[in-house]
A and B are shown apart, each in its own frame.
Chain A
Amino acid sequence: MFDSNEHSLELNWFLPTNGDGRHLTSSGLPKAGLFQEGERAPTLDYLRQVVHAAEQARFDAIMVPTASGFEDPWLVTAVLAQEVRRLKFLLTVRPGLELPTYTARRAATLQLLSDNRLGLHVVSGSSRFEQRSLGDFLEHDDRYARSAEFLDVLRAAWRGESHLHHGRFYRGGQHVEPQRDVRLPPLYFGGASTAAEQVAASHAETYLMWGEPPDMVAQRISHMKNLAASRGRILRFGLRLHVFARSTSQAAWSHVEELLKELPRDAIDRAQEQLASYESVGQSRQSELRTGRGVGVRELEVSPNLWAGVGLVRGGAGTALVGSYQEVAERIEEYHALGVDSFILSGYPHLEEAIHLGTELLPLLRRPSDGVTTRTQLSPH
């Protein structure tokens, strides 16, 4: 975790390194090839503005994703960390493409260059198609076994002990001096399968989930807490969500209704076909939220203010909080009360929405005791 107080509310933003726009299909995967008009390429000049907006909005960190065709998260982070002073970077890493001792060196270098503002988000897999195009042919459960070993070696490298490691996937080499000048980045870990849960319980610091209704999130937290406790560990929890917030509930819902209307039916079918190829339990859980539901805007409200419409065309995090600023803030507080301390939020487009939510939503969630200036203090009116 980035914060020293483990239960304070951490609010993070998302960097659209695969492009951005106003539509549900504008960011993330798969690219359905729609709405080219008005879409924004992920140029540095654009991403630079997003991190400035996120810093101004007083988000704690920004998640930097990875996938084929995205700008390299390490390079983007190295460049953008120079742009802002306070914002932290939660960089997505895929074990399996590089050696963990090299990752340790990259992380140490970025910690040095960013003054310890780096966090690592470890993702063990995506689609089989994408994995294999990069030369990674391990199957699902083995990928998690490798992730566990990867994190072992990464930590060992930090202690100067990686040369002692002799495992199934990695063998230590020459002794490398321990890292004394920079901190090991906090480790976030995602994955909803049994294999992922086991590794998260033994290796993660913060366990990330995609947005699900509060009762489902509560069950997972309780399950994961027990699993971690059986290993003598304590986990922290994070939730990845999109946000469509407006001054009134009605305005927010009519906005997402518009977004839904512009989706051609075949875009949904094509996206769903592609998502079905992801060997991801988390992905299936996101899809199952819509089981038995139509595609009417309120039919996709799977629990109060939680909307599953994003997942019709977007892989990964497929749910959004929709409602008035007050409602969205209340839902976030509700998850926080269940034990979720870290939120990674997105809005379309990410530049304008970082500014918008920074003005309207974040002040409702930040308290003076968080060490963050609230809006009322900034502009009393």
Chain B
Amino acid sequence: MALEISWRLPASSVGSTQAGAWIQLALALEYAGIEGLWIDHGIDHPESFAVAATLCAHTKKLKMTVSIAPEVMLPAALAATVQSLQSISHLRTRLHLSDSGRNSAYRAFGEFLNRDQHSERISEYLDLLTRLLAPYTEPFSHCGRYFQLENAGFASRKLSPPPLVLDQSQGSILCGRHADLCLMSPGPLPLLQTDMQSLRGSAHAQGRDLTFCCHLNLIMADTETQAWQLAEEHLQETGIRHPEPPVGVAAIDKAFAAIKRLQIQPQLWQPVTGGPVFVVGTPSQVAERLASLHELGFSHVILASDHGVADVLRFAEQVLPALAAKGLRSTETQHV
């Protein structure tokens, strides 16, 4: 199975030049032969569906993963919107229903439920949503704890439903029952494999298949030293406290020994526990690391970087061929 790559649309610093930058990034991705664009939601982000629709107008193949919190819209309204995006994008949509229990945005959107109620609600929501998105659904009525519907789906369209992405934190039952793709953190290792096994088991019990994806921030440079230098700069910019260098390392290694302690696997760097994970290194190291994540069970990696278009092209020119050489990418998708 090939390794699918998506790029993450950077959070917005709102301003009229931003829209042009989104379009530019989408065009670069399509040109570079990267399949997907991941569009987050939340109070720091532009509204994901509007961005996806706009970028559909500028692209032909790019797949849009649209993230949304299930609190903001009734399930039948979301189903109609998703079907409309499927139609407008010519089936290029993937839907990520984020676990807003972890996301501050849902509070901004006015929901006040405790954790149990929250997960009960999302379960009911997902049952309704997937039923409404099924292409041959008959109109139905529903009277649940959180939602009520009469003749729901009477106007629904015969379109194939978009693949659904859920977060690992939504639990193996929900992921197993509804998700096509499960978003996980790429480490630490032994736990990761156990989790994947249990999620897969839950999906198989429902007669379904489940694949896995993860977010990775990209810090790539010509030499490894330069890459770690960039990582160091990142640490300083974000104001994260520099860890103490370990005692007893040779002076020559000292430069990056400190921040390298934050590696969770070779080249996978997590400066804040539970925070974003970075892949740090040369293009060939990045390719190695992506290949080993693929081997672990990730079929899809969502990359982010501070240097949008420049990193997209560099990745396409220097990493994708290495992945193709490992048999993880079809060479036909290379456009650069």
Contact = CB atoms under 8 A, between A and B. Distances in A.
Contacts of A105: 43, 46-47
Given A132-B151, A135-B75, A109 B80 contact: no
A137 interface: yes
Interface string B19-63: 100000000000000000000000100110111111011100000
Contacts of B15: 181
B150 A109 contact: no
A109 B15 CA distance: 10
Interface string B134-161: 0000010000000111111111010000
Give the size category of A's interface with B: 35 or more
B43 A132 contact: no
B81 A75 contact: yes
Nearest to A116: B16
Contact of B152 (A135, A176, A177): A135
Which of B49, B57, B111 has the most CB atoms of chain A within a 10 A radius of its CB?
B57
Given A78-B53, A112-B14, A181-B14, A174 B76 contact: no
B152 A173 contact: no
Contacts of B150: 129, 132-133
A83 B104 CA distance: 35
Contacts of A133: 76, 139, 149-155
Contacts of B54: 78-79, 81-82, 113
8 contacts: A74-B49, A102-B72, A108-B47, A110-B50, A113-B19, A113-B54, A137-B148, A173-B110
Given A71-B87, A74-B49, A135-B148, A173 B107 contact: yes
Contacts of A113: 19, 46, 50-51, 54
Interface string B100-116: 00001111111110000
B322 to A, nearest CB: 36
A256 B47 CA distance: 44
A132 B147 CA distance: 11
Nearest to A175: B108
B149 A132 contact: yes
B40 to A, nearest CB: 12
Interface in A41-74: 44, 68-69, 71-72, 74
A97 B157 CA distance: 19
A115 interface: yes
Contacts of A180: 14
Contacts of A101: 108-110
Contact of B74 (A74, A108, A134): A134
A80 B18 CA distance: 18
Contacts of A102: 47, 72-73, 109
Given A78-B53, A170-B110, A98 B72 contact: yes
A338 interface: no
Contacts of B110: 99, 101, 170-173
Given A75-B50, A113-B54, A181-B16, A173 B76 contact: no
A129 B139 CA distance: 12
B71 interface: yes
B94 to A, nearest CB: 15
Given A99-B71, A136-B74, A173-B107, A72 B80 contact: yes
The 5 residue pairs across chains A and B that have the minimum distance between CB atoms: A68-B155, A72-B84, A78-B53, A69-B155, A173-B107
Interface string A111-143: 011010000000000000100111111000000
B135 to A, nearest CB: 15
Contacts of B255: none
A145 interface: no
Contacts of A172: 110
Nearest to A94: B77
A82 to B, nearest CB: 4
B85 interface: yes
A137 B73 CA distance: 15
Contact of B49 (A75, A136, A174): A75
A269 B15 CA distance: 53
B46 A112 contact: yes
A97 B74 contact: yes
B50 A135 contact: no
Nearest to B18: A112
A75 B109 contact: no
A88 B14 CA distance: 21
A79 B56 contact: yes
A78 B85 CA distance: 11
Contacts of B84: 71-72, 75-76
Contacts of A75: 49-50, 52-53, 81, 84-85, 88
B74 A98 contact: yes
Contacts of B153: 133
A134 B150 CA distance: 8
A330 B16 CA distance: 41
A112 B49 CA distance: 14
Contacts of B46: 105, 108-109, 112-113
A106 interface: yes
